[in-house]
Amino acid sequence: MPDGFSVETADVGDGHSVDKRIADSLNAMLEDCKRAGYHPFIRSSFRTRDEQQQILNERVALYREAGYSEEEALAAALQWVAPPGTSEHELGLAVDINDEVDDEGMYAWLASNAHQYGFILRYPLDKVDVTGISNEPWHYRYVGKRTAGEIFQTGETLEEYLARTRMK
């Protein structure tokens, strides 16, 4: 992201905010998820670049404490945490959603329904080689309903979708 990038955010509860353009879609998805019997909550939402740096530093420190070298710790941390300036959370378009009672069935519900609200599962288990990021069944990215529907139908990642549509 370029220096000086900014986003107008909207509060979505519990101290979380997202790009104001996606707040209504996110809230509708979470409400419908609750109606389906789950207990979703936002674990992480919009982050500043400084917050992203702090998260990366903390993850590197955990790996260092586990005996990794500095280089190994950074490489391991980058499997889970995007470098500052590249995180979708910094765009305000990504949220991490968990279930209050650890019902993993919620992840299946989200994977099957999120596209109806304009969201995609960003880092699926079978696409780690494409995204370069470990499986995160909780990480959802807003891309709009049309694009999310296409990605859902094709089973692509955002990277694959962009590569295919840019070739046209």
Identity of the residue numbered 119: F
Residues 6+ apart with CB under 8 A from 55: 47, 81
Owner of token pair 């590249």: 86
Alpha helices (runs of H) in the chain, residue ranges in sequence order: 23-35, 49-65, 70-77, 88-91, 105-113, 128-131, 145-154, 158-166
Closest CA to 74 of 61, 87, 65, 85: 61
Identity of the residue numbered 83: P
Q: Does residue 89 contact residue 46 with C-beta atoms inside 8 Å? A: yes
Residues 6+ apart with CB under 8 A from 25: 117, 118, 119, 142
pLDDT digits (tens, 9 = 90+) for 52-91: 999 999 999 999 999 999 999 999 999 889 999 999 999 9
The confidence score (pLDDT) of residue 168 equals 60
Residue 76 DSSP one-character state:
H
Low-confidence ranges of the chain (pLDDT < 50): none
Is the backbone of residue 42 left (phi > 0), alpha (psi -120 to 50) or beta?
beta
Q: Does residue 121 contact residue 114 with C-beta atoms inside 8 Å? A: yes
Residues designated as active site = 136
Residue 24: alpha-carbon gap to chain centroid: 17
Quick one: tokens of 46?
């919009």
Closest CA to 77 of 55, 98, 49: 55
* Domains of the chain (ranges, CATH numbers): 9-41+102-166 (3.30.1380.10)
The confidence score (pLDDT) of residue 95 equals 98
Its pTM surpasses 0.75 = yes
Q: What is the distance between the alpha carbons of residues 42 and 37, in angstroms, rounded to a whole number?
A: 16
The confidence score (pLDDT) of residue 54 equals 97
